[in-house]
Structures are given as structure tokens and as C-alpha cells.
Chain A
Amino acid sequence: MTIEAATNPHLAADAAATGPIIHPRWVRVTHWINALAMFMMIGSGWQIYDASPLFGFEFPRQIALGNWLAGALLWHFAAMWLLVINGLVYVTLGIVTGRYRRKLFPIRPSEVLHDLLAALRGKLSHDDLSVYNAVQKLLYLGILLTGIVIVLSGLSIWKPVQFQALTSFFGGYNTARYVHFAAMTAIVSFLVMHVTLAVLVPKSLRAMIVGR
């Protein structure tokens, strides 16, 4: 539906249609494919976690994907291709087009502090969506790195013999499971903020759908 919206001329034909493109098409397409892949990976991951919980709680079955362990594993190891292939396309384009360099850097600690305080006072400007504030820069960079950690720690759990050097890097098989879980927690926390802010500033959601 979102891909349709991105190409639907009627949705774009409002006042903002004349403005500059904030998110090029490749960003929007990979963003929504990634959203779908993450939905499947996190949902099935919760079901897999429940088979052998690391902590004293389980995820409710109603919000987990796959019905039972085998079903969840089928989802997880199918969606991983979507996540990784889409992620590689996104990161490659982000680097070669210079988008990361332009949008995310430099990140100055003083600006992060300034923008964080402004955000907490509700005084952060959203007038120009094409420029990220310092807190956004830091969080987007952080979530990119967390994405790399969750994929590599996942790989180290999946193949602790063939990729044993990677598994050792994450502190061995058991520790790698905790790393994988911590990365999931960080991503879900980010998602809660990300979605809340997108709802609070609806034009940012529109920009990710129609581009401007």
C-alpha cells in the first residue's frame, strides 16, 4: 500500500508537491521494505525467544509470529534474506550517494545536548525536514550500527561452527544470544520513539511516503 502511495500522483498533488524532494525514491522503497522485514524478524524472534527464554518473562503469543517454534524459525530464516538484501542495498546507496555523509555528519556533542534540551522543552523546529537535528543524527547513526550488530550477532548464533570467529567476537554462543536480544531491545525502543514522533509530526510520515 505504501509503495502504491509513493507512486500515486493524487496523493502527491497537494501544496507540498512543489517543494524539493526530501527522501529520494530509493530511501522510501528500502525504508518500507525494511519496516516489513523488521516486523517479521521481531515477531518471529519473540516466538523463538519463548522456546528458551533468557530472562524471567515470555512474549505473549498473540503478538508473536509463527504460532510455534518451527513456524517462527521458518519466518525468521526467510525474512532474514529480505532484511539483509534490502539492508545491503540501502547501506550501499547511502554511502555511494553521499547521503549518510551529508545527512548524518558531523555530529557535535554540544549540538546534541542543545537539541536534546530544546526537544524536551518542545522547542525543536520541524520546519525543514530535509535537515536532521543533532539528536536525530545521533539516533539514526546509532540505529544503523545496531542494525549491523543484530545481523552479525544473529549470524554468529545461526552458525557458531562455520563462523566461530564471529561467535567468539560476540563472547561465545551464549553471550551472543544476549547481544542479539539487547540489539532487538534497542531497535524496538527506537521504533517506539520513531513511530510516536512520526505520528506527532505527520508531514514527516508523508515525506517518507511521497518524498516531499
Chain B
Amino acid sequence: MPRQRKPVPGVDPKLLIKDAAKLLPEPSRRFFLRGAASLGALAVLSGCDIIDGDTSENALRVISSFNDRVQALLFNPNTLAPEYPENMITRPFPFNAYYSEDEAPDIDGDQWQLEIGGLVDNKRPWTLPDLAKLPEVSQITRHVCVEGWSAIGSWQGVKLSDFLKAIGADTRAKYVWFQCAEGYSNTIDMPTALHPQTQLTLKFDHQILTRAYGFPIKIRIPTKLGFKNPKYVTAMWVQNNDAGGYWENQGYNWFSGL
């Protein structure tokens, strides 16, 4: 899947990979070798810091996108994330972002609207009272951070698949893209968007989301790492191009499935 990459000075990775790939006919083998070929070629062409530098990261990202495909194959749309009893909820549930809690977006719920765009029939923006009218679902699942720690939380809201139906989304599209108030963003694959536990979340532990937990809405995806669960969402687009995301563009694995 196409992705923004940091440029490597003096090397056009696309051309390099294209040249290497031309020599090898069989697609799966080609893909696997493409990673190795570009790693080797980049190592030769760049003099500097191959182990820890941007150069090796760019080469490794080729394997990371191979891992995206592997994870998409491993993803079973019918496999549910384990659910836990209420007494296992982590209290207090941690706030986590790349900024401190008092820098988190402070959104006026009355003014807020969820902008809808892309391949949908009805692009009318949604307000909080509109969303509250849709059927509520609940889950107690484990939030797993890319750093390794995890916490069990309780989330209530609308099944994202129900919401996609409500706006007449073309669910044959490949991606759903989320834009957040502070500039954060995520793109997720459509099979994950349609997963029965993927939730447009309005409440944490049966209380309206607090500012720390993503008010007015977050997208809760228990089949993905925490950073693929955007908070303070302001826009949602259904589309066929991968618009990347805040951390994904910096080198974190795109699919990040659990």
C-alpha cells in the first residue's frame, strides 16, 4: 500500500526497488526479495550510519509493509478480542498521548460536529445528540500500547459498522480515514472498520467521555494497537487511498493489528 516515506538523500528508493523487482518474475518471491535487495543496495549507496540511521529505517519499512499484508491475512473478521469482567478494569485508566493531559484538545460538545466525506451517500455532519440516538453497544477490552504496556477499559458507543451503514458508506472502499482536533490522524483498513467490536465511542465506563479519554468521540478498535484508536475525532472519510497517519508516517507499522 502506498505510503509517505522520508526521502533518502541521493537515492530514489522507488526506482531502486523497481529495478530490483524487474529482475524477479514471481510476485510473492519478488516482494520478499525486494526488501532484501533494497536493504543491500541502500547499504552500498549510503556511506553513513547504516545500523541506526534513517537509511536502514527506510529499507526496513519495505519489510514493514510486507508485514501489513501478512497481518491483513491473519486478521479474522469473526475473531473477537477477549472481553473482561468489570472488576478487571484498570483504575485509573491511563491518559496517553504525545502531549500532556492539559494540552489535550478541549472541545465544546455543543459546537462540535463530525464531518463526513468520501465514498458515502450522506455527507451531512453529525452532532452528539444525533449519535446518541443510534443503538449503543458496550465492551470491556484490553487496550495494548505499542510501548508494551496494556490497560483494560470499558467503552460504550455505536458500532462503527452501524454508523457506516447509517451514512450509506461504500464498504467496498479500502480505507476509513480519521482526522482529529489536534492534528492527529489515522487510516484503517475496511475489514477492521467493519469488525463487530470496532466502536464509535461516546462513553468510558458508562460516563460521557472526559477530555482525557477523547471527548467528544474516540474510535475504539480492540483488534489494533492503542495508537490506531484516534481520540477527539472531527472528520471521517471513506476512501480508496491510504492517507497514512501521525505515527504511521514516522515509521510505526501501518496495520498494527493485535
Contacts and interface: CB of A to CB of B under 8 A. Distances in A.
A70 interface: yes
A49 B251 contact: no
Contacts of B35: 78
A28 interface: no
A35 to B, nearest CB: 16
Give the one of B67, B247, B253 with max A CB within 10 A.
B67
A7 interface: no
B145 A71 contact: no
A71 B251 contact: yes
Interface in A160-189: 160-162, 164, 173-174, 177
Nearest to B142: A173
Given A73-B252, A74-B63, A78-B60, A161 B147 contact: no
A159 B147 contact: no
B63 A81 contact: yes
A71 to B, nearest CB: 5
A37 interface: no
A162 B64 contact: no
A70 B52 contact: no
A205 interface: no
A52 B149 contact: yes
Interface stretch (A61-69, A123-131, A146-154, A196-204): A61-69
Interface in B151-203: none
A11 to B, nearest CB: 25
Contacts of A78: 35, 60, 63-64
B198 to A, nearest CB: 12
Contacts of B64: 74, 77-78
Interface string B49-71: 00111001100110110010000
B223 interface: yes
A114 B110 CA distance: 80
A196 to B, nearest CB: 25
Give the one of A65, A74, A177 with max B CB within 10 A.
A74
A83 to B, nearest CB: 13
A207 interface: no
A134 interface: no
A173 B147 contact: no
B56 to A, nearest CB: 8
Contacts of A159: 74, 257-258
A173 B141 CA distance: 12
Given A73-B253, A161-B257, 10 more contacts: A52-B145, A52-B149, A67-B53, A71-B57, A74-B63, A78-B35, A78-B64, A160-B142, A161-B258, A174-B150
17 contacts: A49-B148, A51-B147, A65-B51, A70-B250, A71-B60, A73-B252, A74-B251, A75-B60, A78-B64, A81-B63, A159-B74, A160-B144, A161-B80, A161-B81, A161-B223, A161-B258, A162-B257
Closest 8 CB pairs of A and B: A70-B251, A74-B60, A52-B148, A51-B147, A78-B63, A52-B147, A161-B258, A67-B52
